[in-house]
Amino acid sequence: MRVQGDKASLDLDFLDGTSVALQWPAGFDFFSDGLELSSWARIPSITAREIIAYRIDLATSVSELFGMATLIGSYPNGEGGSVELWRPERSEIDYLVYTFGPWIVLVYDYGPDAIEEPMSEESRELWATHLQAEVETDGSLVLRADAPLQLASPAAYPSPMSAAFHSRHGVVDLIPGPCTPGFISSIDGDDWATWCDVSAGLVIRVQGSPEFQEEVSDRLTVVSVSPAEH
């Protein structure tokens, strides 16, 4: 983030390399509680899982992410390191935990108490070696999947790639992809207000009070959106 005079700005990279430049009045708080990047990947006809990335300076350890948790497995990542499998206490969800430079990346799986089937050991081993990432010179994270693992396209099912900004006021969720400018759901006290930015390349979803939703609509400016080159 950069602050110049009464303006703050941020160049944000999504996990596929799509970038967006944002600007807002200095002092407007919409991500004091951190930033969460998410995407999806799949092994066709076998499994699909959500990927969530946090900077380590916002979440410095597994215990800070999960609270009480147990390390239940470890898988070679093919590059001399390992991907760990953690089970949070009183949770039906397990997590494969990757570390890429200053980032922690989580891929969920189902624990033994869940209704859904967990990944096989073979699938976990494949995820550990085939989900890779590069940390750019500016510190941003760009994921890469080696076949047969595939990264989902930005707007693909089951949910789109996004960047979620968290603060005590609520959540601002940015979703890249073509859209028609204008409101999708209005600011009227509903849980989420949703609109497509005038750039026609970014959907903005805001959870919080109507006042916070209005503030984001009035103050957050999308300067540019640059889709990733694939």
pLDDT tens digits, residue range 90-142?
Answer: 889 999 999 998 899 999 999 988 899 999 999 999 999 999 999 988 888 99
Q: What are the start-end ranges of the H helices in the chain?
A: 62-66, 121-130, 210-219
Per the structure block, which two tokens stand in for 20?
Answer: 């967006």
H or E segment at 75? strand 69-76
CA separation for the pair 14, 207 (Å, rounded): 20
Provide the CB-side half-sphere exposure for 65 (13 A, CA). 25
SS3 label, residue 130: helix
Res. 70: pLDDT tops 50:
yes
CA separation for the pair 23, 8 (Å, rounded): 6
CA separation for the pair 110, 96 (Å, rounded): 11
Res. 74: pLDDT tops 90:
yes
- φ and ψ at 106, to 5 degrees? -115, 135
Tell me the C-alpha to C-alpha distance, in Å, between residue 32 and each of 38, 57, 164, 194, 205.
18, 13, 12, 21, 17
Q: DSSP class of residue 1? A: -
CA separation for the pair 104, 100 (Å, rounded): 6
Provide the CB-side half-sphere exposure for 89 (13 A, CA). 5
As a three-state string, the secondary structure of 15-35 is CCCCEEEEEEECCCCCCCCCE
pLDDT at residue 187, as a whole number? 75
H or E segment at 101? none
Q: Dihedral angle at the C-alpha atoms of 122, 125, 131, 132, nearest 10 degrees?
A: -160
pLDDT at residue 64, as a whole number? 74
- Backbone Cα Rg of the chain: 18
Given the DSSP bridges, would you call strands 82-88 and 192-196 parallel, antiparallel or unpaired? Answer: unpaired
51-60, 81-90, 158-167, 179-188, range with greatest mean pLDDT: 81-90
pLDDT at residue 59, as a whole number? 47
Res. 149: pLDDT tops 60:
yes
